[in-house]
Amino acid sequence: MSSGALSHVRVLDLSRALSGPYCSMLLADQGADVIKIEAPGGGDVTRHLRPYVNGEGVEFLALNRNKKSIVLDLKSESGRQAFLDLVAVSDVVLENMRPGVVDRLGVGYAAANAVNPRIVYCSISGFGSSGPLRDLPAYDIVVQGMSGTMSLTGEPGRPPVMMGPPMGDLAAGVFAALGITTALTARGQTNRGRYVDISMLDCQISLLAYFGPWYMATGEVPQPRGGGNPRLVPFGVFRARDAYITVGVLGEEPWQRFCKAAELDHLLEDPRFATNELRSEHRAELLPVVERAFLGRDAEDWIRRLRVADIPCGPVNTVDRALATEQVHHRNMVVETHHPVAGAVRVLGNPVKLSDSPDEFLPAPTYGQHTREILSGLLGYTDEEVAKVVGSEPAGAR
């Protein structure tokens, strides 16, 4: 892409599957020139995962917009040299292989830094580049379990469950994008690159947010809370007559507005519920009253009433309903790309709105689509040199 805050940044993306591609997509959405380097034999595994649109994997289409694709065999001398030639004219390298793999291939941080001391090199792995678990494999479900976040998800007394979205992968991608842009900012002052070391487990521990400090301060192990909040009442998921809604009441003045909107004025006279602390202490007496009241009206009626009273609330949408809402479309969070094989494909938009963020997205690339363009146009390789690198793999548009 030619516009956007990161249009001056070139990223070499060695990553695959989810955490790395999500990171590089966030960078590409802000205009970074992301070159996705795919292995011979079919490239990123998500190209081949169901469901498909005209034979193209939906997950790949969703995570790899605004990127270019080249095929390099990093196990060959010519492929490795082509990669290092690209490092010399790039700003960022991103990878999410197991620690040590890129070093054995000769394309790790030391090799990249020797070619270009200004390179920002980011590695995403399950447990980071150090520590006793460094060399172990990990997936999203593993780090959700190990971090404690899974123990907080679900209903009390029920088995632990994963968070709906794969937050182990996605959070690592977001933190990696933050680490990369932080290192690029520092490079502007020092003219030196950085190594950015992202551990999926570290990211999940960070997302414990206030739960970790609560435990360390009190010694009480946090438990799953379902749709409620251990400190606030009423605050959570409630069933209306026809559907579920979410409601959050924080503070005494909102409590008064809530009671009036819900026609529960008598609760304002009950000393057990005079403060939030007392309402939490007497939640067993208060919640049944509130829950019975919610059952008396439809969800839409409740949301209208509570919004008039300026009480935070909303429907519990299914995915289809969430993606159909006016607010989501107004914010361009559902966008359409036009893929040469899959055709018109709707994907999720960019949540980071800068004043110069590009508002049009390019489709995910086909396998090896830009190999010849990049090797010849960017590196100046001859046809003979391109043929040596590519071999029988796709050389892109001819």
- Of 13, 29, 73, 169, the catalytic one is 169
> Measured at the alpha carbon of residue 186, what is the angle toward residues 185 and 190, in degrees to the nearest 5?
130
SS3 annotation, 207-241 = CCCCHHHHHHHHCCCCCCCCCCCCCCCCEEEEECC
Using an 8 Å Cβ cutoff, are 243 and 171 in contact? no
Active site residue 85: no
Question: Residues near 219 by Cβ (< 8 Å), separated by ≥ 6?
Answer: none
Q: Which of 96, 125, 129, 74 has the alpha carbon at shortest distance from 21?
A: 96
Question: Residues near 142 by Cβ (< 8 Å), separated by ≥ 6?
Answer: 126, 168
Q: Answer whether the bond into residue 51 is a cis peptide, omega within 30°.
A: yes
Catalytic residues: 169
